[in-house]
Structure 1
Amino acid sequence: MWELNSLFGLYLYTGGYKNDFYVSLRQSSVYLMRRGLTQIKSL
């Protein structure tokens, strides 16, 4: 059971979860920047 948990934690840390988090964070920040720029232009 401990091996399974450590393997799962290792996968979360190195693989899926961390990358997904950073990708979604980057996408949302880019989206917010673009939206702010379009709002500034429309003023």
Structure 2
Amino acid sequence: MNHKQVAERILNAVGRDNIQGARHCATRLRLVLKDTGVID
């Protein structure tokens, strides 16, 4: 799986409009979500 495919899966899982911000380090991607209730 390439980076674009991973990004698409993440966006589909949490909702494109639900992402308020994002940060990353070498091993983690941290997303700040507007509404955590819409994801499992």
- TM band (smaller chain): 0.3 to 0.5
Mark the structure with the bigger radius of gyration: 1
Higher relative contact order (CA 8 A, sep 6+): 2
TM-score by length of 2: 0.35
State the TM-score, normalized to the length of structure 1: 0.33
Higher strand share: 2
Larger helix fraction of residues:
1
